[in-house]
Chains A and B, each alone.
Chain A
Amino acid sequence: GAVVSQHPSRVICKSGTSVKIECRSLDFQATTMFWYRQFPKQSLMLMATSNEGSKATYEQGVEKDKFLINHASLTLSTLTVTSAHPEDSSFYICSAPSGTGELFFGEGSRLTVL
């Protein structure tokens, strides 16, 4: 079945640095990818919709300049957390629609900002 790969699975960084998370669709093309954020013991909240070749669409309350999204190809979307702070620590998950009524999720990336 379709697979979405996310990298890195875990990242620890110092406050003020930037971190890039990659999301790849391995055996299908994804013109759209969705980025979610999950706080500990909470549900997944949609952050933004990544669109291949155009600007991402951000949900209300999500800082565009803080969470930079690039969808450079039909198989790769990246989320860059800029000038990270401890409150950005979270579990970030990407997903891509397969076109058959199902969303495939990446393995998730746990970001810890010290």
Chain B
Amino acid sequence: AQSVTQLGSHVSVSEGALVLLRCNYSSSVPPYLFWYVQYPNQGLQLLLKYTTGATLVKGINGFEAEFKKSETSFHLTKPSAHMSDAAEYFCAVSFSGNTPLVFGKGTRLSVIA
């Protein structure tokens, strides 16, 4: 079985500060890992994904994440937060590209001016 744990249901950072959203997973097989962002009353937008290959993955809007197998982690980072980054972020895992995703509980990011 697969599961995802997102540490911190709410993270607050100052504008321009580093963003770090934590995600740990458990999977019996090599995982596919994803980060999605959701703005209020909207669907999900893919930020980035890891399937195979390079463990440091760069996504949209300046976000990146690093797959660390030894730590079973896939933390999301951004060097400098922008007000527009305020949203709900979900980490997700799957077995392959054709299986449903298992989502973490989500982390709400607030950016303070």
Contact = CB atoms under 8 A, between A and B. Distances in A.
Given A43-B104, A101-B49, A108 B43 contact: yes
A93 B41 CA distance: 11
Contact of B90 (A44, A100, A106): A44
B44 A105 contact: yes
A19 interface: no
A34 interface: yes
B46 interface: yes
Interface residues of B, number: 24
Contacts of A91: 41
A15 B55 CA distance: 49
Interface residues of A, number: 24
A46 B102 CA distance: 8
B98 A32 contact: yes
Interface in A10-57: 32, 34, 42-46, 49
Nearest to A104: B46
Interface of B is mostly: loop
Nearest to B91: A43
A49 B100 CA distance: 8
B86 interface: no
B74 interface: no
A106 B100 contact: no
Contacts of B32: 101
Interface in B16-57: 32, 34, 36, 41-46, 49, 51
A99 B30 CA distance: 17
A38 to B, nearest CB: 9
B40 to A, nearest CB: 10
Contacts of A46: 100-102
Contact of A93 (B44, B94, B97): B44
Interface of B: 32, 34, 36, 41-46, 49, 51, 90, 94, 96-106
Interface of A: 6, 32, 34, 42-46, 49, 91, 93, 95, 97-103, 105-108, 110
Pairs A-B, 9 closest by C-beta atoms: A101-B97, A108-B43, A107-B43, A101-B51, A105-B44, A34-B100, A97-B98, A43-B105, A43-B103
